[in-house]
Amino acid sequence: MTTASPQHRAHFDFTISFANGGDMSGRGFRLDLPRPDLSADEVGLLLIRHLGLALVSDVELRGLRIVEEAHRGSRGVETPAGEADRVIDLSHPIEAGLVTYPGLPAPMIVPHLTREDSRARYAPGTEFAMDVITMIGNTGTYLDAPYHRYADGGDLASLDLSTLVGLRAEVFHLRDSWSAERRGIGAAVLADRELAGSAVLLDTGWSRHFGTPGYAHGAPFLTAEGARFLVSEGVRLVGIDSLNIDDTESGGERPAHSILLAAGIHVVEHLTNLDAVPARGARFTAAPPAVRGFGTFPVRAFATTSSQ
């Protein structure tokens, strides 16, 4: 295994003029860079490519700074080959007393057979521990199947493994893109990529509050508009590192759950460590046990990256 190289981004204001007339400008723009030693002209060309512009006559950058910072998925900038082959754990560990979602019961773990008691059942020097865990399906990092929302929807046992294992991951790194006043993630944020068949993973940074009272208040979420857009794009799974895929502070409606699960798109909630996954190029897996008549269960979610 190799260690990933530091990533860099450019921060700047800009004005772009067009050969056929008109111009556009931006302030506080940030752009992924393939390496830190690019000239201003090279950054300008990357900006044109990222924005998908044509007939540009001039690019003026102001206040250009290049800083060491994780990439956020700028178009035209791929993760350099050979950085690392990695397995990135995206799940919260489960333990007795864990509070995942405030108001839901915490798991209880009790022994069925202790190591001490097992010694009377097995040959000398051989011992085992067998434990019983009692928990609600909404514990830790878990996946929602259609049955979670709809009585006639597919349960966990009905899910096709090809829709859960090795999915192309499109990670939207949004930690600097939302605020307490603008918590909803809409379609416009997600519209710059080809998403068909992918797992769309929303990295909001909210998992830093997991297990604390603050996790339940002010959490980012996917809007109904955003959910409809992802259905239209043909995604297979949507994951978020937040309290819920929906806004739990706006009443009892759950439009994102309703829209996604009606379309057979799996939902994974309470992810963590998404900042370690590149915006593009990773594979995502989150497979629950095949439990009949059950709609939600913890998963060991993880991403894999490859230099090949």
Query: What CATH number corresponds to the domain at position 262?
Result: 3.50.30.50
Amino acid at 107: P
d(C-alpha 204, C-alpha 178), whole Å: 8
Q: What was the pLDDT predicted at 34?
A: 86
| pLDDT band (50, 70, 90) for residue 107 | very high
In this structure, are 36 and 154 located in the same domain?
no
Mean pLDDT for 225-245 is 97
d(C-alpha 60, C-alpha 62), whole Å: 7
- Report yes or no on 133 lying in a domain: no
Q: What was the pLDDT predicted at 165?
A: 98
Q: What was the pLDDT predicted at 307?
A: 67
In this structure, are 61 and 147 located in the same domain?
no
pTM: 0.82
In this structure, are 297 and 155 located in the same domain?
yes
Q: What was the pLDDT predicted at 35?
A: 87
Mean pLDDT for 165-172 is 96
- Report yes or no on 117 lying in a domain: no
Mean pLDDT for 33-60 is 86
What is the CB neighbour count within 10 angstroms for residue 250? Answer: 12
In this structure, are 62 and 166 located in the same domain?
no
- Report yes or no on 185 lying in a domain: yes
pLDDT over 50 (residue 306): yes
Mean pLDDT for 68-80 is 71
pLDDT over 70 (residue 1): no
- Report yes or no on 104 lying in a domain: no
| pLDDT band (50, 70, 90) for residue 2 | very low
Mean pLDDT for 157-181 is 90
In this structure, are 63 and 172 located in the same domain?
no
- Report yes or no on 275 lying in a domain: yes
Q: What was the pLDDT predicted at 79?
A: 55
- Report yes or no on 180 lying in a domain: yes
In this structure, are 150 and 295 located in the same domain?
yes
Which residues, in sequence order, are CB contacts of 191 under 8 Å at separation 6+? 229
What is the CB neighbour count within 10 angstroms for residue 85? Answer: 12
In this structure, are 26 and 154 located in the same domain?
no
Domains of the chain: total: 2
Domain limits at 279?
142-305
In this structure, are 266 and 150 located in the same domain?
yes
DSSP tag of 101: S
In this structure, are 151 and 296 located in the same domain?
yes
- Report yes or no on 245 lying in a domain: yes
Mean pLDDT, all residues of the chain? 91
Structure tokens belonging to residue 189: 């944020």
Q: What was the pLDDT predicted at 74?
A: 73
Tens digits of residue pLDDT in 117-132: 999 999 999 999 999 9
- Contact indicator for 64, 11 with CB cutoff of 8 Å: yes
| Maximum separation of any 2 CA atoms in the chain, in Å | 88
Which residues, in sequence order, are CB contacts of 52 under 8 Å at separation 6+? 75
In this structure, are 42 and 152 located in the same domain?
no
Domain boundary among 24, 52, 79: 79
In this structure, are 243 and 153 located in the same domain?
yes
- Report yes or no on 214 lying in a domain: yes
Mean pLDDT for 31-46 is 88
d(C-alpha 231, C-alpha 275), whole Å: 24
Tens digits of residue pLDDT in 172-214: 999 877 676 789 999 989 988 899 999 999 999 999 999 999 9
d(C-alpha 79, C-alpha 277), whole Å: 11
Lowest mean pLDDT among 29-38, 46-55, 120-129, 217-226: 46-55
